[in-house]
Structure 1
Amino acid sequence: MLLKSKKRLTAYVVAALCVASTGFAATEHWNDASTTPTTVVATQAGDANWEQWKSSWKDIQDDYEQVSLAPGKDATQMNLAWYSKDKAKAAEVRISTNEDMSHARSFLGTSKTGTVIDDTQYYTNKVSVKDLKPDTTYYYQVKIDGQWRDAQSFKTGNPDNFTFMYVGDPQIGASKGQTSSEGNKQDGELATRNDAYNWNKTLNSALSQHPEINFLVSPGDQINEPAEDQSAAKIKLQEQQYAGYLSAKALRSLPEATSIGNHDSMTTGYQNHFNVPNPFTEEANPTKAGHGYYYTYGNALFIVINANNYNAADHEALIKKAIKANPNTKWRIVVMHQDIYGSGLDHSDSDGILMRTQLTPIYDANKIDVVLQGHDHTYARTYQLSSDGQQHATFDEYRVKGQQGQSHGILNEALKDSTKKEAYESQNRCYTIADMQQGTLHNPKGVFYMSSNSATGSKFYELIPQQQDYIAARSQNWRPTYSVVHITKDTFSIDTYDAETGTPIDQTYSIVKD
């Protein structure tokens, strides 16, 4: 039986709209790396302590030539990307099942003009490695500036039974303006140092507790500096934040399927650093950062949309293209930055809600199972939700060609008009609660939505004052979290953990397709 939402204007909407109408709300909540104890788990995983981190930071922050791994088009492929000072005729990677790199296979890719940092031209290099076998350890080397770097390794998973780590908004550098216990009011560089340290700790703790993790999924905002003014200083800070993000040793072996967040969206830095499979270049309103994309892993289809583009027709076209290319996958998972069903005070009922009326029926029509979101820096999961089947406004007057600036609440001016505010509130009650069961659900109707909290503690937001009727569970304990998703032939399950202690913060939520 479908349980249709009957709530009208309630305290949570009033509170959210008051925030939205007065501007973007700041936060005082963050994690100070200088006071965070180094856990036994993190230490055993190779995490440097804070003093060691500070002494090595100068080398880390200027190391722009770090390699990123990403899932390829399917589980038999792996994508790599990196910066170099030299432009190669072709980017080159070699791969072997032997640690001494004997019997290595070579793969060639592209080398193109990238970013200028401190008057130095860098090039962006991308290669796809193919014909990988499941459950196999591979060693790889990347040629950078004419030299082969030290061999690193990764292990492929079992496509029929795999696990990925889902994190929210690392946003390296977002603790800018906060004052640390050491008495420093953090500028962009100090904030980047703080948040990159905590990013390393979260990854190390997660992988120590859950070595079965095969790859990472991030719904965006890898870095904080949008660099929209394109000044040399801003671009350098942005690249230092990418350097801090990519510095995590875990990422040498952990492929990462990233999304474009609003902080990533305004420059080409994102698409220069990450080699995404099947980019949706047909996107009519892309951002400078690039496009949505899709890939498969076993019987799961992952569709990553560029939600900074408010033209939902682009996202519908990407979803249909991905499904047409992979019609028989059992699980369909969308990853996006802006949360259309979240519970954070800053975004869940302002800019995040803007695309709710457009995307909800698209997800229903294309039988999407799960939507993984970020942006709100709080933890929330929904009941199974469906469209209410009614026609709703598309808010065409607010569509922009990508996110404009960092003023998230683009409806602020409109919400000062009581008539427009009432219409907005009414239109965005466009959903139906299709199933309120908890724990393990068998063949449920509707779509499951998750919003992830910050994985670094660089910035946290308050929860909206009154829990929305579509939210099944939520929390904000001002500590970094991460989720572990396990997919088999018939089951999707998700658990979320406190990054410092490794303890669950919520019960397991599972969907079984019999």
Structure 2
Amino acid sequence: MPQARTLEPNTLVPKGVMRYAPSGFPERVVASPAQDASRGFAVAWRTDVTVGAPVLEWVVAGDSPDMGIPNSVVAATHALETENGTAHHHRVDVGGLQPDTLYAYRVQGDRTWSPWYQVRTAAEAGEAFEMLYFGDTQNKNASLTTRVMREAARHAPHARLALYAGDLVSGGDGEDDNEWGEWFDATDVISPSILTAPAPGNHEYFEEYEDTPQERRVLGKHWPVQFALPANGAPGVELTTYWFDFQGVRVAVIDGTSALDLGTAQAQARWLEGVLASNPNRWSMVVTHQPFYSPREGRDNVLLREHLLPVIGKHKVDLVLQGHDHTYGRRGPDDGAGTPVFTVSVVGAKQYRLSDEARATMKPVGEDTQLFQVIRVDGGRLRYEARTATGRLYDAFELIDEGKGGKRRIEIEPGRIDERFCAREQTLKGRKDRCWE
């Protein structure tokens, strides 16, 4: 006889258990692209406080276990106090590399090292490659995000880049470090070897002085030290905005939370104007957490459309990759042109319901579905696929670069499953505005 459903906790760490205390062993290793991803990458990792100035060693990867004498770079180190104790977070930027080259690297701990990881620099523009895009992971990462990451790696075994649209963890519950520990466990198949570029979400912030007149959004303390991102962001938003070039694609990451809640929309728009105006590449993408067109009832991010959308339209950005609304939805520009294409997706367990407007203006849409996206760029052709946690094709299209004629969008229908909608009246907590917690 089936047992009654029970609400699963956000983390798999039992109360009172210190699962993610830092140690002398290097962990939470994540590689990210340099501004020019064909010439460099950066790595962040964590240890305990016994490790003060560790090094990263790197070498051109070879077939023999003897890959030669490695280069050594000393890390910059920052302390972070969490519920799991004080940790040291380390960062190394590796530059002066060759394009389309496989490098091996390892990072140091206390009298020990990480495994040797391998990461490939971007090739010259025009060479084909594939990348991954993920919506919110956010909650129950160890339990339910893990399977999506492994399915994504199976479907895109040669992916070189992974983009995350914010809300990587839920935060704000006194278990931030446990949540980040589980996020790194869930993404371990990707983070050390596929260049990782996350956008910040509202859950990467917290409410300081909550429920008082002084209430304000403050960036969480993990974000500035947890990832080694390019330092080229918008004035006043340097920690959470950045851009980089990857094999014929310019990727710009903006901070929707800061734009909406901290008054930086105009500053980010000016910065984005410069980033896109100087783009020498054939393709461009913008990654942001909050959608320009929200598929969830009751959300309307007016400031994004007022200040940043005109810049995106002016420079004919190809893809705008978003999260936040825990559903799936895709729409094109209001004028019916091929680009920009706006997508909203979700990886994690929390699932919302679609608005009537989204059902009328987006196609396809979806509820109650964990998803990942595979994007393949090959010269003048870009293919986008959204797949479910079990690997089934949910959405697909291609963009064809026709030169001065702009980009043409072609729908790919064969193989897609039907749109999915929530069949439950309420969640286990009794919430009718969500499909799953």
Per the alignment, in what secondary structure is the counterpart of residue 67 of structure 1?
strand
**Paired residue secondary structure (2:177):** helix
Question: 1:297, 1:128 → 2: CA distance?
Answer: 17
Q: Tell me, yes or no, if structure 1 residue 82 matches structure 2 residue 45.
A: yes
Provide the C-alpha distance between the structure 2 equivalents of 1:120 and 1:205, rounded to a whole number of angstroms.
33
Q: Is the 8 A contact 1:381 1:471 kept in 2?
A: yes
Q: Which amino acid aligns with 2:200?
A: I
> What's the counterpart of residue 409 of structure 2?
none
Q: Structure 1 residue 211 and structure 2 residue 157: aligned?
A: yes
Q: What is the rounded CA distance, in whole Å, between the counterparts of 2:355 and 2:392 in structure 1?
A: 25
Distance across 2 between alignment mates of 1:479 and 1:254: 25
Q: Distance in 1 between matches of 2:288 and 2:397?
A: 20
2:198 matched residue in structure 1 = 258
Q: Aligned pair 1:161/2:128, yes or no?
A: yes
Check conservation: 1:101, 1:139, Cα contact below 8 A: no
- Kindly tell me: are residues 502 and 271 of structure 1, through their superposed partners in 2, closer, same or farther at Cα, counting changes over 3 Å? same
- Offset from partner CA, 1:443-493 (integer Å, 9 cap, x none): x3x4211111x2132x010011343654232111x1310011111221222
Match among 165, 175, 178 for residue 240 of structure 1: 178
1:91–1:377 distance in 2 versus 1, CA, 3 Å? same
Residue equivalent to 2:214: none
Q: Higher mean Cα deviation, 483-492 or 63-72?
A: 63-72
* 5+ long unaligned stretches in structure 2: 206-218, 403-437
Matched, 1:484 2:374: yes
Alignment partner, residue 455 of structure 1:
347
Distance 1:317 1:246, change over 3 A: same
Superposed, 1:266-285 pairs within 5 Å as 266-280=219-233, 282-284=234-236
Deviation at 1:512, TM superposition (A): 1.1
After superposition, what is the alpha-carbon deviation per residue over 1:67-106, rounded to whole angstroms, capped at 9, x for unaligned? 1111222232221112232376644211221363632432
In the aligned structure 2, how far is the partner of 1:30 from the partner of 1:371?
A: 37
Aligned equivalent of 1:223, options 158, 166, 169:
169
Normalized against structure 2, the TM-score is what?
0.76
* Partner residue, 1:6: none
SS at match of 2:256: coil
- CA–CA distance in structure 2, aligned partners of residues 31 and 214 of structure 1: 36
Residues 270-310 of structure 1 deviation map (CA, whole Å, 9 limit, x = unaligned): 12101111331x523x39xx220000101100000111112
Residues 33 and 197 of structure 1 are in contact (CA less than 8 Å); yes or no, is this contact kept in structure 2? no
2:252 paired residue number? 303
Aligned partner of 1:463: which letter?
L
Q: Which amino acid aligns with 1:130?
A: G
Deviation at 1:130, TM superposition (A): 2.7
Residues 21 and 85 of structure 2 are in contact (CA less than 8 Å); yes or no, is this contact kept in structure 1? no
Residue 125 in structure 1 maps to residue 90 in structure 2? yes
Residues 143 and 149, structure 1, Cα contact 8 Å, conserved in 2: yes
Which stretch shows the higher mean deviation, 118-127 or 330-339? 118-127
Q: Helix, strand or coil: the match of 2:393?
A: coil
Q: 2-side partners of 1:277 and 1:104: how far apart?
A: 28
Which whole-Å deviations, capped at 9, do the CAs of 1:387-413 have from their partners, x for residues lacking one?
Answer: xxxxxxxxxxxxxxxxxxxxxxxxxxx
Give the equivalent residue in structure 1 for 2:394.
Answer: 505
1:322 is displaced (CA, Å) by 2.4
Structure 1: tracts of 5 or more residues without a match: 1-28, 35-52, 173-193, 228-233, 386-431, 436-443
CA RMSD of aligned residues (A): 3.1
Change (3 A) 1:155 1:299: closer
**SS of the residue 2:108 aligns to:** strand
Greater strand percent: which structure? 2
1:246 match: secondary structure: helix
Q: What secondary structure is seen at the aligned counterpart in 2 of 1:329? A: coil
Partner of 1:13: none
**1:377 and 2:340 are equivalent in the alignment:** no
Aligned amino acid, residue 354 of structure 2: L
Instruction: Write the distance in 2 (CA, Å) between the matches of 1:119 and 1:342.
Output: 36
User: 1:226 and 1:488, CA in 2 relative to 1: closer, same or farther beyond 3 A?
Assistant: farther
* Cα distance in 1, alignment partners of residues 382 and 6 from structure 2: 32
Query: Quick check: 1:342–1:381 contact (8 Å CA) kept in 2?
Result: no
**CA distance in 2 between partners of 1:296 and 1:87 (Å):** 36
Match of 2:152, SS state, is helix
Structure with higher RCO (Cα < 8 A, 6+ apart): 1
Looking at secondary structure, tell me which structure has more helix per residue.
Answer: 1
CA distance in 2, matches of 1:304, 1:71: 13
Distance 1:336 1:89 in 2: 34
* Mapped partners of 2:243, 2:74: distance in 1: 20
CA distance change for structure 1 residues 207 and 303 in 2, over 3 Å: closer, same or farther?
A: same
Give the CA deviation at 1:63: 4.9
User: Alpha carbons of 1:359 and 1:489: their partners in 2 closer, same or farther (altered >3 Å)?
Assistant: same
Distance 1:132 1:31 in 2: 49
What's 2:364 paired with?
473
1:339 partner SS: coil
- Contact preservation (8 Å) 1:342, 1:376: yes
Q: Tell me if 1:62 matches 2:21.
A: yes
C-alpha contact (below 8 Å) 1:68/1:82 kept by paired residues: yes
Distance 1:210 1:264, change over 3 A: same
**CA distance 1:204–1:116, change in 2 (3 Å):** same
Cα drift, residue 128 of structure 1: 1.5
Q: Distance in 2 between matches of 1:488 and 1:472?
A: 25
Change (3 A) 1:31 1:338: farther
